[in-house]
Amino acid sequence: MPHDTAAGHAKISDVTGIAERTFGQKILASQPFWVTLALLVLSVAISLYQPSFLTSQNIANITRNFAPIGIMALGMTCVIITGGIDLSVGSIMGLVAIVAGLVLTAGHSWVLAFGLGLAAGLACGAVNGFFVAYVGMSSFVVTLGMMSIARSFAVVLSGNQMLYQFGPDAPIVKAIGQGKFPSGQPDSIFPSWIPPFSSHFWTMVLLALIVGYVLNFKTWGKHLYAVGGNEPAARMTGVNVDRIKFQAYLFSAFCASVASLLILGYSGSAINAMGQSYELRVIAAAVIGGANLMGGAGTAYGAVVGAALLEVIRNALLMAGIDSNWQGAFVGAFIILAVLIGMETRGFSLKDLMRQMFQFGKGR
Amino acid sequence: MSVLRLRGVTKSFGAIHALTGVDLTVERGEALGLMGDNGAGKSTLIKIIAGNFPPSAGEIAIDDETVHFARPLEARQKGIEIVYQDLALCDNLTAADNVFLGRELKTGWGPFAVLDKPAMIARSGQLFEELKSETRPRDLVRKMSGGQRQAVAIARTRLSQARLVLMDEPTAAISVRQVAEVLNLIRRMKAQGVAIILVSHRMPDVFEVCDRIVVVRRGAKVADKLTASTSPEEITGLITGAIHAA
């Protein structure tokens, strides 16, 4: 560093080693960037091995498959930013699907069905938020309880039956869940190489844009990060911590409800087991995308790209003909790897750790 | 006209008398050192001034106007800011974000109002410059030194045009080099007419920046002396009780 040692003076920035980060450095230090890179490398590698991977049909399938997880990961990321966790999203999906399914089965309109489904989901989120934010209970405990309660309600309400006779509005519900843009039909004005993206995908994109906008440009987003960064400090500076936390759980439940209704429409049926064990996939997606379980970090883009990576790994293993039972091992390894990269970008050095361990090994 | 005047401030928690009949005045641009052993009543006094809880008896006046604070917010509205020992900053946010936390500048209309980041960065940069601190608005607080963190915490008080800043052990957990930086920050605040109450265990710091030193022992004020007319030995004696009162 060019400073005048003869004069015995160094600039403070030289001593502390703090320089304002350039845009490039910021990108390199972000976990979503590395996950995006992994996603691209993996995609290219698979398409070399298996050309059918990058066909527009397969891309449409993959993006439809991960969209519900991505949608829920957006809500989960908001909760994780506050330093909490929401284990109930999978069960909320089940409950929402059954409530909407029952209303449709009774012959009511799809608007009423979706409205009541959404209301059921939001009620679960409100209960979560109330106990976490206003009573001060641990989010793990509260949402673990809700995970059990919502699933139980779904099973009881459904009479443990699959619901599929949806009455007069069944075609509309199906159109919502199976909608595509572009249509993918031969008469479409779009060229056939553009994948016919699903309504699930477009919903995710829209929600991601909204969440990204709010997290970056709105006071609410800034306060979300503040709550996760230092809750007492946020409280002392006048941030309405309780309300922000409550709203985060409400939003997470909203995302789960939307995902549930899309899947309901796609499959044209409602089962009470919908979303079972999804909470772990959603948390994995958020964490791979850079959400920090300690709170204070996470992005909308990260949530989406994390969900995408999980699905591409799954799809890749499938195409490579690897026993699907290996999925868990790969996904698990990626979760740990992603968090390790996240730690590196935050200043932890794996190299230093290795060096230390090696030196201890030599008995120093 | 005194920025702050306490008369006969008493605080009891059940049978425990945390403070008994404390009188205190602070003038504009004056730094007052508040010293005392652990449990002597310093924190209780600071919390009463900051509006964390009301006194059991006695009177608080700001600019000769009697006030009754029910909440810290009310004290803040009267121009009293507190810089906490643990600084109360969010590590994951930038310096500018922290300065404006809870009072963000916005641009735009109604529900579509967005954060006015350029304005907040410019204004906090200006505040750091006034404090002559090498703190950059866009840097994350996580990566800052103790002195820079103090600058961020103090910039918060400057933003609200605070007239009285309460500082709780601002030099307790930082390096020697940074202590000098913080003491300079205090001098600059004084120069701008801000009154300061500095709670500290570090005798040299208090003697360096404070105009007056108040010693509390077992809930009572035992000394109120101009810094120039006392010595570290005398203050130590007053704190421990070796010297009864001065």
pLDDT in tens, A80-138: 999 999 999 999 999 999 999 999 999 999 999 999 999 999 999 999 999 999 999 99
Count contacts between A and B (CB, < 8 Å): 65
CB-based contact, B145 to chain A, within 8 Å: yes
- Are A238 and B103 in contact (CB < 8 Å)? yes
At position A145, the amino acid (one-letter code) is: G
Is the previous residue joined to B137 through a cis bond, with omega within 30 degrees of 0? no
CB-based contact, B106 to chain A, within 8 Å: yes
Phi, psi of B216 (to 5 degrees): -110, 140
Whole-prediction pTM: 0.85
Q: Which residues in chain A are closer than 8 Å to B50, comparing Cβ atoms?
A: none
Residue A111's closest CA among A179, A202, A172?
A172
At position B96, the amino acid (one-letter code) is: A
- How far away is chain B from the Cα of A228, in angstroms, using its nearest Cα? 8
For B140, the token pair is 């994350």
- How far away is chain A from the Cα of B86, in angstroms, using its nearest Cα? 9
Of B72, B101, B139, the CB nearest to A234: B101
Is residue B80 within 8 A of residue B51, CB to CB? The reply is yes
- Are B102 and A239 in contact (CB < 8 Å)? yes
- How far away is chain B from the Cα of A19, in angstroms, using its nearest Cα? 9
> In whole angstroms, what is the distance from residue A345 CA to residue A33 CA?
11
- Are B90 and A232 in contact (CB < 8 Å)? no
Residue indicated by tokens 């922290």: B98
CB-based contact, B172 to chain A, within 8 Å: no
Q: Which residues in chain A are closer than 8 Å to B134, comparing Cβ atoms?
A: 12-13
Nearest CA in chain A to B52: A236
How does pLDDT run along chain B (246 residues), one tens digit per residue?
Answer: 789 999 999 999 888 889 999 999 999 999 999 999 988 888 889 989 988 889 999 999 999 899 998 888 888 889 998 887 666 899 999 999 999 998 899 998 888 899 999 999 999 999 998 888 888 999 999 888 888 888 898 888 888 888 999 998 888 777 787 788 889 889 988 998 999 999 988 899 999 999 999 999 999 999 999 999 999 999 999 999 898 887
